[in-house]
Each structure stands twice: as structure tokens, then as C-alpha cells.
Structure 1
Amino acid sequence: MLLNCLGFCGSMNITHTSSSQRKYPTVIEELCHQFSLADLRKSTNNFDQNRVIGRGLFSEVYKGSVQHKGASDYTVAVKRFNERGLEAFKKEIELLCQLFHPNCVSIIGFCNHIKEKIIVYEYMSNGSLADYLQGGDAEALSWKKRLEICIGVARGLHYLHTGAKRSVFHCILSPSTILLDDHLKPKLAGFGVNVQGSRFMTKKKQIKLDLITGTFGYMATEYAINGTVTDKCDVFSFGMVLLEVVCGRQYLIHPRETEFLEKPVEEKIDANIKGEIAPECWQVFIDIAHRCVKHEPDERPIIGEVEVELEHALLLQEQADITNTNGEYSLLSKTVIDLKLVREYFEQALFHQEDIT
């Protein structure tokens, strides 16, 4: 696997030696700085719970500060994996050391201690997109800003799918894995469940996972039912994110929420952006969002097409804003998105567990 190429000798197993004794080859040290456990304890005030800024099944994330780029107090996010997160730690290190894109979160370093597995990332001061859409701060995001965020996410996904020797499938895309920097520029995070596909320009092979990880309401049915992973799974998840961005809430919270789901999308637009969306822009946006969440994977567009269409939608919005003298826009269309098959599987799964993660 690639991790071996980057300097993890022998196998994927983490060597049980002290961090002071471990020697990594130059390549991985150049790509990814190695922190001592003492450094990271100090940076987080000994992993003070008051510094926790995020939690997941396999890890906790702390706000900390380290020496980096000549600064002694460079703010970072310190992701501390628990015992169940060893595989996620390996996967993230393997992938993040080779990701270089403005819409993917950057890794600063790691700690591979016998007792602790930690990854240090750039700190994203504005939290996640979910914090805004689901946390009551949606009024801070205008329609144009939301559209710009969506374009950034599409660019990040496009890079994952086509920008490396092996295509990378995110698998758990949701507003919670879309982080926002000081300028509200989005960066993809949460790569502990990523799947790497075929080498670039080779024949694609179907990938199936035995352990399915994700959140109902964002997972494509082919992935949720039998673990089939393709780029179109990420496209489906992104389509659900697009609907959430425009509605200001999770689009599919519960399959029996039929009254909300059966309404036209135009009647569910977030009140904070109602009147801001030009009809020309809306038609392009809702058409591509609708296509992204089609039940059949072959009916979904590739992410490159989604990116182009969203950029087109933004251009139409900007052109309309120049000529608009009436202030608010009105949308006369009625778009109903049928998620019946997704809802049916979601409802069946609720008998077993609400969340796979």
C-alpha cells in the first residue's frame, strides 16, 4: 500500500517503539512533520476537555497551538484517535500525506506513539458547514456565499476523484465533514473512511466494503445496502448537501417526515435566503442537485459536470444581480424530488440503528 512507499516499513502495522526511538525516512518527514507526544500534550493542556472542538466514533479533536512556520503559537486541530480508530488513523495518514488541494484540509503533522495515535491539521476557525446550517447560524451565509461554498466542495471532490494516480472516494461526505476557514472557504475533512479506487486511466473495478460507515440521509442506497463504492456515491451525498444548503436544515431527517419531503423544494427554501435566488440561477442549481440524488448511479452526473453547472449557476446569479432593480426575486417553479426508495431503506434501517457511524 502507499503507506509503505511513504516510509512505513514492512507492513501497515504501527511499530510499537517509543516516538523518540522511531526513525522515519526523509520522504515522509518532508511531507508530514512528526510531533512528540509531549509536544501535543502541552499544546492541548494535557488534552483538556475544555479544548474539545469535535467528537466522532473513533476520535476527539482538540484546539491546540504548536511551533510551526516560525510561529510559537500556531493554532491547530489535534485529532486524538481512540483504540477503535487505529485503522482510521492509518487511512488518514496514508491519504493526507499525498493530498495537496486548496479545498482539502491540510495535515501539519502526526504522532505515532505506542499509546497515542494523533494527527495535527490546520485549524478551521469557522467550524463546519453543519454548524451554520444545523446550529442556528444560517443567517450568516448569504445565497451567493452558500453557492461559493458548494463550488469549493465540488472542486475538492473533483480533485479526489480525478486528481491523483488513484481515484479517492470520500464515502462519508456531509456538512459535518465540510470545514470552513477564516474566509468561509470550504475544505473537505474526515478522511478516515476513504476508499482508493483503480489507478488513473485503468479499467474501473467495483469496490465493495464489508463495514459500511456513514450517516443515513447522505448515503447512496447502493452503498448503504451492499457496500458498493463508486464516485457516484460521493455525488449522491453531495446532492443531499446541496439540498440542505438551500433548505437550511438536513433534508432527510426521518423517512416518515412525509409532509416536508413531498413539498416542492421552492416551498422549503431557508427563510434567511428567500428572495435572494435569481430564477435563472435556481433552475441550473436545482436541476443539478436533483440529478445528483437519482436512485440509479448511472443517472447521476460525474462530479466534474456538477462543478461546471454550479459555476454556471453562480455566473447567472451575478449577472441577474447586476440588472435586478426589484430587490427580491420570486421563484415560480415547483420542483418535487422523489426520494421514495432512499426513504424506504432508511425506514427499514431504523429498526436496527439510527446511525451507522
Structure 2
Amino acid sequence: MDLAIFLATLLFGFFFGNKSTVASFTPADSYLIVCGSSQNVTLLDQTYIPDSTPQSSISLKSQGAASVTYTSNSSTTLPSPLYQSVRIFSTTASYKFNIKQEGRHWVRLYFYPLPNSGYDLTSATMTLVTENFVLLNNFTFKNYNGSHLFREYSINVTSDTLVLTIIPSNNSIAFINAIELVSVPDELIPDQALAISPSAPISGLSARAFETIYRLNLGGPLITPQNDTLGRTWVNDKKYLHVNSSAVTVAVNPLTVRYRALATQEIAPNWVYATADHMGDANVNNVNFNITWVFRVDPNFTYFVRLHFCDIVSKAMNNLVFNLYINSDLAFGSLDLSTLAGDLGVPYYRDFVSNSSADSNTLTVSIGPDTMADVTDAIMNGLEIMKMNNEFRSFDGLSPVETILPVSASKKNKRMAIIVGSVAGSLGVILLLGLCLFCLGCGRRTKDSQQGGHSWLPLPLYGNSLSLTKMSTSSQKSRTASCLSLASTNLGRVFTFQEIMDATNKFDESSLLGVGGFGRVYKGTSEDGTKLAVKRGNPRSEQGLAEFRTEIEMLSKLRHRHLVSLIGYCDERSEMILVYEYMANGPLRSHLYGTDLPSLSWKQRLEICIGAARGLHYLHTGATQSIIHRDVKTTNILLDENFVAKVADFGLSKTGPALDQTHVSTAVKGSFGYLDPEYFRRQQLTEKSDVYSFGVVLMEVLCTRPALNPVLPRDQVNIAEWAMTWQKKGMLDQIMDKNLIGKVNPASLKKYGETAEKCLAEYGVDRPSMGDVLWNLEYALQLEETSSVLTEPEDNSTNHIQGIALNPPPLEAFDNSSVCMVEGASCGEEDVATSAVFSQLVNPRGR
């Protein structure tokens, strides 16, 4: 749209539609407080009252030393009039607000270290908490990249008061410039949203607190609180676009936006739905590319993502069908906007819950055409990303409120009286219950000793410290026995939580190897000096008890040179911890791209692929019943100190079909880009599904690029499809890693390419077994080794055939140096198969 027309449309809406478009939402509670000021401050038609003004509904208490106020009289330009005064505290202080109507509220905080205040506010270190949530923990402007700080939280207040406590940390001071506490509709945050990777509903959001991280008006200008019924600010999205030319802005008169039952003015103002970004020119050969937005986030938290849509570009219904991606996951396929909204120009929104990209501190959102719909456009109008409190009810660190908030003597005495009374009243019941459980346990042990074997005990999700199996007498006596002495359990060593703490130096951040779908992985050292990889389950992860149990069951009965060994586990204190052998050289993927590690030689790559193939072949044929890995990829192939390849991460593994069956019917799980299309379509799992995934790995090893890279033209997005077109031309050397050019024997490369091509056959029946794959790779290695002792011709390959244009290299994303897959563990389903900034562009129906 022409810029003049765009601006004219916005001005028309502003002058003629502003008052009618912003309906009056009247909050039950509305506290606008300017701290340290002696007079009211007016900002955007709102009046902020000094915190020193006597009010029955708000009180300020400061323990010990008196508060200090400072008002700036300088002519220096301030970020906002709210920053012209400040209240400074040398001891703990609290603001107490009376709540008229329980429910969700905005808590907005303003901080600006005013100069010439007589205090070094830039060095001040402070903590802010409510009764239930930690908002800031040891915050200081020394570590903050900005001149001022504004934080907005959404908290569900469930009592008749809310207390905001400000605590100077480390014998410092604390300060604050302004506070807002305003009611919002409870419907603003639903109780349920769709979690990403794996896709499943997640409930209980209404009890959670949220911190606004990003709120964008896509394709439109800044929207101030004046034009939002809930006083929100919406900023333009241009700085977050990965490729500016990929998006074209479009705008209509805000009055043409028609709200229906799904969306309201409180969800987003019509100014948001009246502008949008849709597909532009990304300077690629094919129009089927993505628009991608990239956001920096804290990888230790989960995020609530709300996406706003309104079809303001179509002339008729059903003309806008596209795909939506969050990170590397297809969040919504074939989104038919006009059908979902009910008409053109009608707002629609969707909510998701997601973590950051598994191998970076970014969260990406992408939209792109659904190629099956034969539509080459996609649109989005608004985007919100909100951080959710972690398991410690904190937005900043791992310390819960109870360990931060000082407790008064009267509260301590009252709490002690309650505790003593409760203990005295229930002691008899506990003793009786304990006696019953003891008797029951003795009976079960007797029965088990008679039957023999080791059956599973029920294990509640993130439950108590029940062991996964009944331990033998020796292991009960000594939980620190060696692996050998615990072999009778068939499940490896049972670690105590204290042993895990000692091995990882209390989960020291310096020993962190990486973060995956199951949780964090730390490098550890056992008491005998053995190096360990300790995978600690995250209670907020979508991977939980099933993956934990599967991993132990599978690996406890599998021992092979090319499978990562499970040393043991720990399930005490509501923990789910897996302990593996330490793999010094980490995942195969980190040696292919995304890091500065030295390039692997062709012989090394062949030996690694052969090792992985041997591990998979053993899974398929070596056990009593075949095992299908179901998540074969370069991040799940680990390398030890000698670059010996070992297959890892068995959380998604399944036992293969029985002798009288051809497949296992199961829900589709795995990683996009590696998924067998036949399995994806029919939900019928076979060993040949692993073979297909391994074929993708072979191409990834050769070409050193992600399995999916949506920024490329459509025919290059999927490495399997792209590489196969070159393989069928007999020109696979044209797309190989540039570090291998001129260093690969043509016969070896030909055999390698033929093997990968067979693995990637459309139908499983046409694919070879892993045994056949292994044989062919070993033959390719023999061809390479044979050629190394012969005199090679001056140019023995077709790498430099004149007249053949090489494919353009993948466009550079920003820094993808962080490694998702770490030694001894993998990132699970959340692993990003593409670069750190692109979501995949895949056909959700399979090829």
C-alpha cells in the first residue's frame, strides 16, 4: 500500500473513529501512583496521585529508616513525566492496596535512576515481590542495558489486599518512580491454551502470573494507552522482522473492523486489527517463503503467545489459507482465516504456550503459505509474548517468595502455633498410617521375594521419592554401591539426590551443558572420578513421566558400543534425573554447522554414520523384540572423545511389531524434517521409519545444513527433497559441504548417495533394512580408503564442471553458535531442526 494512502487511512480513523472505537471499560480497581512526588502528575489523560497522599485504600509502610523522596528540577529530558520523582528506601518497604474486586490485575512498575538525587541509584540492587510472586530479584541498572525500566505483570489477585514489597538487596538501597494497579477482565487470560511440541492442551493458566515481554502492532504505528481500553502500548514490529522485505504493510479504516463473540476490544483494540503484515518480496526465487519474527527470550521460562488475525486483504471468503509456526513447530496448519472468524474483517486470535528454541535464547514466530491450498499469501495483525512464572512462582531466578520476603515476629509466632497444633493433632493419625504402610510393605516384599523379578511401582508424575523398582537388600543398605553391585536391579545405579548434588556441584551453572526438551543437562563427576552427563527433568516440560520411564526401561536392557549407556537414575524429592556416560565431543550436529568446531573429514563422517547405523541395526535386530528409536537425528547421535558415534535419547522409542504384525499403530512423534512421511500420514510405525530418518541424517552429514530451512526457496526447504533432486541427476557433489570439495573419492560418494536415496524412498517397503544400510556405508568407506593409497588424477570428481551453477548457499541467520544437543543427552522433541531464527515450512499432510 502507498505510504500516503496508509497514513491517510490512519488519520481518518483517528479523527473520526477514535472515541467510538475505544469503548469505556471501567476497572473496579484503578491505582495510579507517582512515588516521591508532592503533586499530581498527568500523563495521557490519566492522573497519578502521589504516594504520600493520605488514602484509605492504599498505605505505604517502611521498616526502620525513613523514606527519601527526590524531585528532579533539571531541564534534562526525561523518558516520561512519571520519572521526574523517585522514592528511595534504605530498608524493606511495602505498598498495600485494598482490592475491591478479586481477579486479574495489571501491576505496572516504573524505574529510572534519576541523576543528582544524592544517591547512586544506578548501583542500587533491589528485589520486588508480592505475597505470591517474585517480580524482580536483585535487579540493578548496572546489569541492565537501558536508561529506564518499565515492567508490566498480569496477576490474578485472590484476596482483598495486594502487598507490593520492595527490598534493598546486598546492603544497598531500593527505589521506585511509579506504580499502576488496575483491574482487567478475567477473560483476558484463558485457563487453557495449546502447548507446542508436543501439541497438547495445557490448563491452569488462570492461576498463573504473566509478564509482558513483547506486544506488537504488526504493520502499524505505535498504539498508546489512549487507544486501548486496557491501557496497553503496542509497538511497531519492523525491528523484529528477520527480513524486512518479506512483509508488506496493509491498513484499513479501524471502523471497518467488526467484532464478534470470539474477540473483543479488550483482547486487542481495532487499531491492531486494522493493520497487518502480509507476504512481500523476500528476493527469493519462489514465493512460498515465510515471514519470520525473531525475539530474544530467557530460555529458562515458558511463554504465553497470543497471535491476532483479521482478514483485511481478501475480496472473498476462503481466499486466505496459510500455516503458522512457532520455533520449529507447526502450530496451526491450513489456517483458513475467514472461515474461523466467520467473515472478512472480523478479528480472530489464537493462544499458545511455548518454550524458546531448544538450542538458542530466541523464540520465533513465522507465517507462510499452505502449498496444498494453492494460496501464496499469509497475514498477521498483532502479536503478544508473555513470560509465565516458573515453578518457584518467580519471573527472575529460582528463589520463591518464602525465601525472600521477611516474616514478622507475630506472623512467625502465629505460624509456629499453627504448625505445633497441626503436628500434635495429627501425630496419632500419622503413626497409625505409618504402621499400616509398614505392615503392607512387609507383605509385598514377602510376595515379591517369592515371585522373584523386579516389577514397576506406580510412580506419580513428579511424585514422591518412591524408587522406580523395588531395590534388592544390598541396594537398600547402600545407595552408593557401584554399578556392578546394582546390576541385579537391571536398571542401573539408583542415585540419591545428594549424590547428584555433589556430582554437579549443586547444579552449578558453570557445569551446564545445555537445555533440552526434557530439561537441563549438567556435566558431573562421580565419587570415583567418572565423568557423567546428568539430565535433570524440568517439571514444566511437556516431556515427563512416560519419557523418563521409557528411557530407563529401554537403556537398562540395552548395552552396545554404539548406544549411549545409561548409568543410573534418581527419582527422589519430586525429581526425575537420568545419568549417562559423558560424551566429550557432544552431538554430531555441532560438528557439521552452527559452531566453530573443525570440519570433519569425509572418512570421519563415514565412520560416524557407520557407528550410528550399527547402533540402530542392533536396536532393530539385537534385542528380544525389535526397538524403533523414533527420533533419529544429528542431535541424537553423540560422539565420545575418540569420535565414536553413539545413538542417544530413547524417550520416544517403541518396541517393534510382533511377528504376526507388520507395524505398530501409534500417534506420530518425532522431529519435523526427519519424520517418515508414510508414518506421518498413516500413523503406522515400522523399523523403516528409522531408516528414513537416517537417510535425512546422511544428507545432513554431506551437505552440512539443517534438515529444514524455510528461508530458502520452496524446492530447497526440505533437505531430503532438495538433495534427492541432485542425487537423481548424479550431481550430489554440487551441494556437498565446501570443505569436502576435491577430497572425496567419486565412487565412495556415489555409493553413499545411492544409500541415502534408498533410505529416503517414499514407501517403507522400498527402503533397505539398517543392516543393508550398514553394509553399503562400510563399502563406501572401503572405496574411500582404497582410493587414498592410489595415485589420484589431477581432478577425479565433477566438483568443478564448468557451466553448472552451484546452488546458492543458505542465507545466514543470526548467530546460531549455541549448541542445543550436549554431551550425553539430547534436546528431545523440542530440538530446532532449522537455524535459530527460522521456523520450518512443511506440508502438514506429509509428502
Shorter-chain TM range is 0.7 to 0.9
Task: Please point out which of 215, 218, 225 is paired with 2:674.
Answer: 218
In the other structure, the counterpart of 2:843 is: 348
- Give the corresponding residue for 1:207: 664
Report the counterpart of residue 353 of structure 1 in structure 2: none
Q: Secondary structure at the match of 1:140?
A: coil
SS in 2 for 1:54: strand
Q: Which runs of 5+ in 1 are unaligned?
A: 335-344, 351-357
How far is the alpha carbon of 1:11 from its aligned partner?
5.0
Q: Is the 8 A contact 1:138 1:272 kept in 2?
A: no
**Post-superposition CA distance 1:177-227 (Å, at most 9, x none):** 00000000000001100011135xx223421222x3222111111223343
Q: 1:87 to 1:31 in 2, by over 3 A?
A: closer
Residue-by-residue CA offset, 1:240-265 (whole Å, 9 max, x unaligned): 00011111112432384425725543
Q: Which amino acid aligns with 2:465?
A: S
Change (3 A) 1:204 1:12: farther
Residue in structure 2 matched with residue 312 of structure 1 by the alignment: 779
Query: Contact (CA 8 Å) 2:518, 2:538: kept in 1 or not?
Result: yes
2:510 aligned with 1:43 = no
Residue matched to 2:754? 287
2:583–2:638 contact (8 Å) kept in structure 1: yes
Q: 1:124 to 1:327 in 2, by over 3 A?
A: farther
**Is 1:149 aligned with 2:633?**
no
Work out whether residues 138 and 248 of structure 1, in 8 Å CA contact, stay in contact via their aligned partners in 2.
no
In the other structure, the counterpart of 1:57 is 517
1:18 aligns with 2:465: yes
SS of the counterpart of 1:198? coil
Residues 77 and 258 (structure 1), Cα distance of their counterparts in 2 relative to 1, 3 Å cut: same
SS at 2:706 equivalent: coil
Residue 168 of structure 1 corresponds to which residue in structure 2?
Answer: 627
Instruction: Name the % identity.
Output: 36
- Counterpart of 1:123 in structure 2 is 582
Moved more, 7-16 or 218-227: 7-16
Match of 2:779, as an amino acid?
H
The partner residue of 2:715 within 253, 258, 261 is 258
The Cα of 1:78 is off from its aligned counterpart by: 0.3
Shift of 1:326: 3.9
- Displacement of 1:51 after TM fit? 2.1
Shift in alpha-carbon separation, 1:82–1:226, aligned structure 2, 3 A: farther
TM-score (norm 2): 0.37
Report the TM-score when normalising by structure 1: 0.84
1:183 aligns with 2:642: yes
Determine the C-alpha separation between the residues in 2 that align with 1:251 and 1:144: 22
Q: State how far apart, in whole Å, the 2-side matches of 1:126 and 1:323 are.
A: 32
Are 2:549 and 1:102 aligned? Answer: no
Larger RCO, structures 1/2 (Cα 8 Å, 6+ apart): 1
RMSD: 2.8
- Report how many residues are paired: 330
State how 1:63-78 maps to structure 2 within 5 Å: 63-67=523-527, 71=528, 73-78=529-534
8 A Cα contact 1:132 1:138, kept in partner: yes
Q: Compared with structure 1, are the counterparts of its residues 328 and 244 closer, same or farther at alpha carbon in structure 2 (3 Å cutoff)?
A: farther
Assess if the C-alpha contact under 8 Å between 2:454 and 2:470 holds in 1: no
How many angstroms apart in 2 are the aligned matches of 1:43 and 1:88? Answer: 23
**Distance in 2 between residues matched to 1:114 and 1:89, nearest whole Å:** 15
Counterpart residue identity of residue 735, structure 2: K
Q: Residue by residue, what CA displacement relative to the aligned partner does 1:3-56 show, whole Å, maximum 9, x if unpaired? A: x99624455767955369985146553650111001101211222333221322
Residue type matched to 1:203 in 2?
D
Query: Larger C-alpha radius of gyration, 1 or 2?
Result: 2
Higher helix share: 1
- The question of 1:321 aligning with 2:788 is answered yes
Aligned-partner Cα distance in 2 for 1:107–1:328: 47
**Which of the pair is proportionally richer in strand?**
2
Instruction: Report the more deviating stretch, 236-245 or 321-330.
Output: 321-330
